[in-house]
Amino acid sequence: MAPALEHEIARLTGALRRHRAIIGGGWGSVGALGGMLAVAILARITPLWHQTALLLASIWVVGGGILVGGLLGYAWPAPLSRRLRLFDRRLHLADRLTTAWELAQGRIHAPAIIVRLQQEETLTAVRAVDPQATFPLHPPRLVGILMLVLMAGLAPALFLANPQEEALARREMQQQATEAAIVQLEATQESLADSATLSAAQREAALKALEEALATLHDRRSTPEEQRAALSAAERQLAALQSPEAAAQIQRLAEASPLSSAEIAQPLVEALQQGDTEAAAEYLRSLIDPNNTQPLTPEEMLALADTFTQIADALQTADPALGKQFQDIAQEIYNGDMASAKEAVQQAAETLAETAQANAPNRSLEQAQASLQEAQERLGDTQRQTTGQGASKSATTQPGASETQGGPGTNAQDGQPALSQGAGNNTNGIASNEHHEDAGSSDPYGTKDMPRLTGQGGEITLPRQETLGAPQTTIGAPGDTRVPYEDVYAAYAAAAKADLARNAYPPALRAYLREYFNGLEP
């Protein structure tokens, strides 16, 4: 085929490609608009996307549809023979191009003069054709109509208020709370894995409990109730791993710590009251440290002996053996010289250190429990915020913090807030089977004749309504104030928050403490 004729065929092919690119882009936009309209309608029925995200996605999808459709239309392969027949038919060339190509390919045998004359005549006819009239650079009318109709339907779906926005916000808040709980539990898991105080069996069981809880949190199909149930189950498993004997001894020492007025005994008493027998032992060791620049005076020794005597007297009923140890230590201080007195103080420090060492696994497990409780509270608070339940912070009686009939966190019969069973929790974050406030067996959280709940974790008592009610604040009498109230409140509130984060408390008590300080907030 003559080069001039090939050039004209290329010119016609370029016009056809541009025409098909416009058509492909038009149909691509129609498909994109139709798809986004369906998504926009679905997003108004179910929480799928935020309105701004949907608008941005519409821009990208429609633009992508035009681009993809245009590229496909421009590059769609078409054999030369089909293009030539198309040009002959649409440009009214009476099969000139097809004949010229067949003559050049040898499909039609003719004398050379006939071939040359045919090509010259075809070239003249093709040059006289304007392909733009046949292959215009605009989409068909049907494409334009469909685009207008779809855009008219999509615009209200994109710009009118979406009724699912609130549901989307609630779901995102819950997802953020779940992600925060996952981060917290993973940190707790690492801490337990590195803990040297746990036995191999305790560590394996604790890590397995946390792994099961994390599996539920990672499952996007799990509901908030299922997540909290998994955290509650892990908490119960950690509580079951604790040693009640060691925790009970710590608790007895905390309850036996006297209200000593001696300055030398104050750090010891405070450490015992907080259940930190290791700190108490370290303090006693520091008192008799040879490098101490201020050695103990006889008066200070006697003050310590008085403190040990008071502890021994308080332990006579709860733990006679431990009480006798402290009584013997005090007696040695009373009867001996300074050297024997220091040995007695060293003996007391060793007794407290042994108690702390025996309770060390419990402390690690209690810290993990506190982390689980905090994660449960975060999920519960977020769920209450997203479901419009307000500031209700009562725990529930069923494992996993599920709600009982009669309202969230209430007994179905009397509507009283129920304490979630958390084995091994008390006001000092210490496990104990003895009689104390959080065991659910004494005032102010219950009496023997109050209704009890029995469940998988054991027996608990429903707290009295008047005790765990909304905190009441009163106005103090006027007087001279040396410290601003805001500073006093901030210090006490920060200390309470730190203690809640450090120790494992029953959920109802934790909620009560938060509400108490909220009521005092200036």
Domain boundaries, the chain: 3-163
pLDDT at 65: 94
pLDDT at position 166 over 50? yes
Q: What is the pLDDT of residue 437?
A: 37
**Whether residue 98 has pLDDT greater than 60:** yes
Q: What pLDDT does 505 receive?
A: 59
- Alpha-carbon gap, residue 460 to 424, rounded angstroms: 12
The span from the CA of 207 to the CA of 202, in Å, is 8
Of all residues in the chain, the percent with pLDDT exceeding 90 is 21
Torsion, Cα of 63, 68, 71, 75 (10° steps): -170
Give the mean model confidence (pLDDT) for residues 74-90: 89
Confidence category of residue 400, pLDDT binned at 50, 70, 90: very low
Which 3 state secondary structure label does DSSP give 454? strand
Give yes or no for residue 8 having a pLDDT over 80: yes
DSSP letters, 45-82, are HS----HHHHHHHHHHHHHHHHHHHHHHHHH----HHH
Question: pLDDT for 483-520, tens place per residue?
Answer: 677 767 777 777 776 666 556 555 556 666 767 777 77
Mean pLDDT is lowest, of 307-311, 341-345, 384-388, 458-462, for 458-462
By three-state DSSP, how is residue 242 classified? coil
- Across 102-116, 274-288, 410-424, least confident range: 410-424
Q: What is the model's pLDDT at position 19?
A: 93
User: What does pLDDT average to over the chain?
Assistant: 77
pLDDT for 199-258, tens place per residue?
A: 899 889 999 999 999 999 999 888 888 988 999 999 899 888 888 888 888 888 888 888
Q: What per-residue confidence (pLDDT) applies to 18?
A: 93
* SS3 call for 461: strand
pLDDT in tens, 128-151: 999 988 999 988 999 999 999 999
User: 13 near 90, Cβ under 8 Å?
Assistant: no
* 175, pLDDT greater than 50: yes
- Taking a C-beta distance cutoff of 8 angstroms, is the pair 13, 131 a contact? no
pLDDT score at 393: 38
Band the pLDDT of 441: cuts 50, 70, 90.
very low
pLDDT category at 26 given cuts 50, 70, 90 is very high
Q: Give the pLDDT confidence of 300-342 residue by residue, as tens digits.
A: 888 888 888 888 888 887 778 878 878 888 888 888 767 777 7
Closest among 164, 191, 201 to 47, alpha carbons compared: 164
At 23 the pLDDT is 94
For residue 497, what pLDDT is reported? 67
Distance CA 399, CA 419 (A): 11
* pLDDT at residue 404, rounded to an integer: 37
The fraction of the chain above a pLDDT of 70, given in percent, is 76
Average pLDDT over residues 425-442: 38
